[in-house]
Amino acid sequence: MIKVGIVGATGYAGCELVRLLNAHPEAEVVAVSSVSFEGKALSEVYPSYLDINDMVCESADEVVSKSDVVFAALPHGLSQELAADCVKNNVKFIDLGADFRLESEDEYKEWYGGSFLDKSLHEESVYGLPEFFRDDIKGKRIISNPGCYTTCSPLALAPAVKNGLVELKGIICNCASGVTGAGRKPSQGSHYPELNEGFHAYKAGCHRHTPEIEQTLSRLSGEKVTITFVPHLLPVNRGILATCYADVKEGVTYEQIRKAYEEFYRDEYFVRLLPDGMYADIHNIKYSNYCDISLHFDSRAGKLIACAAIDNMVKGAAGQAIQNMNIIFGLDEKTGLMITPPAF
């Protein structure tokens, strides 16, 4: 059994890791940590885990000492020292935060206000979006797990971008997320009377996930990609819908685009390319590691409209992190993640 430790276990992503790993046949959660709830049982924080996981939250050092792999579900700026400690102790490290996501330290400084504490760790780290970078992930020690928007939007656009079917200028990613994406700490924006029966954009054109999406699309296309990214807050607990727009290159047909998507995702278990006429819907991927993609073509404007739906807490966080763990330990990627979304 793989011995798993979770640092930041009482946040939403950490809590979701516990839920999913409880059903993993090859892994066992052996230690959990939480600064806010150190000394308390996880089931005191989340009563739904009573008699399922009553593990007491310890220090991060204790978690590292007991684990083969550590998942860090922490705010940005808190993972780099933990990663160094894991590497020193020959423990695999999977970061659900942002510290290792950007390849450029200048961009990290611009968007997060931090710096690379140990450049060698950043050079060793691998960006863990399995559908694109699976071969890079195998056997690695430090995995940077992509965020929710930065998983959903590239999955929607990748085949068109990689195959040169759309213009790289003018791409728009219009996304809407459930409120769990804002984390567990209360704020006025996530307060029920403020959120309920509302729907609004936020951080339009200046969200921190922008350079990460651009980085992935640039890597896939081989050219620098600049996007317009506008996130929105949905009055639901979980789920992300990304509606992405791109100008189709002259002479390219919808049939060519559809074929490119079919070939690109043919062997990807967790990506479901929907039949023409269907629309990706967050209802149909809830609690699962699936990404549903639907394609639409505006022939009048010459635009591809690619919609993708994921559960932001699973494929956008904990599920994808477990998918990465499975890869680095040589397991089938689907292990522990064969979750059927509820029909209602």
Return the active site residues: 148
User: Whole-angstrom Cα distance, residue 52 to residue 20?
Assistant: 12
Specify whether the CB–CB gap between 237 and 178 falls below 8 A: yes
| SS3 label, residue 181 | helix
What 3-state DSSP class applies to 61?
helix
Instruction: For residue 44, give the H/E element and its range.
Output: helix 42-45
In DSSP notation, 196-240 reads TT--EE-STTT-TTHHHHHHHHHHHHTS----EEEEEE-SSSS-E
Q: For the purposes of burial, counting CB atoms within 10 Å of the CB of 244, is it exposed (0-12), middle (13-18) or buried (19 or more)?
A: buried
Do 220 and 266 form a contact (C-beta atoms < 8 A)?
no
